[in-house]
Amino acid sequence: MSDLGGKVALVTGGGQGIGRSIALRLAQGGADLALFDRDGGSLEKTAAEVRALGRRAAAFLGDVADEAAVARAVAGAEGELGPLAILVNNAGICRVAPFLETNIEDLREQLRVNVEGVFLCCQRVVPLMVKRRQGCVITMASFAGKSGRPYFAAYSASKFAVIGLTQAIAAEVAPFGVRVNAICPGIVVSTGMRREIEEAHRRFGLADTGERAKAIPLGRTAEPEDVAGVAAFLASPAADYITGEAIAVTGGLWMD
């Protein structure tokens, strides 16, 4: 049996990008997957890929900041697949703009999805894990949540909040055997979010991804699979003594 054999994982934003890669990596490790996403087409495609790996998959359409949708997804996941052992809070959005041109609506929307979404999913799943005295939660933050980035003021604010929320929950539920950690990716290509960021960089005359990659010590940008590998590690028994961490996955672009 693999490290994750017999476990059930819920991945938000699991239909595409980093979420899809995490879902497939967990499935390769033996986990069954509940996928939660706003894009029905990509959601069903990823569910089919999970099933092709010989694992069970359930797909739930909805918004992570919609409390009723989160409740339905969690109840549906446990009903179809069994007790949730892993929660990956991956769903998120990014809006790039100079601070002086960032409107309050853009700030609120990033806080709604990136922070409230994590909060609501954790509030629904973590009590189940506490009751069972075991579980692993992984939240997707960013290296922009460790150091404020120009043109990313609202996004940075949301990801700083995610890291703080991660650490606060981790400290509170550690006595119950539940671990909570964050992953802080750097420049990840091959995702819809990266394409949107690239377009914004062109609009504001900022360096493109290729130029920014020159500053990465390991000499390349990340692929979604690079992040997925860290998520699989954190979900595995090998990480049983790790909680409350915000792990940078940046190729050395950010070093703690």
Evaluate whether 215 touches 204 at the Cβ level (below 8 Å): no
Evaluate whether 10 touches 125 at the Cβ level (below 8 Å): yes
Exposed e or buried b per residue across 158-171, where buried means at least 16 C-beta atoms within 10 angstroms of its C-beta: bbbbbbebbbebbe
Q: How far apart are CA 93 and CA 113, in angstroms?
A: 7
Kindly give, in sequence order, each residue whose CB lies less than 8 Å from that of residue 123, ignoring residues fewer than 6 positions away: none
Nearest 10 degrees: Cα torsion 100, 105, 108, 113? -120
Phi first, then psi, for residue 136 (nearest 5°) are: -135, 125
CB atoms within 10 A of CB 176: 15
Which are the catalytic amino acids?
155
CA dihedral for 163, 38, 42, 110, sign (positive or negative)? negative
Kindly give, in sequence order, each residue whose CB lies less than 8 Å from that of residue 108, ignoring residues fewer than 6 positions away: none
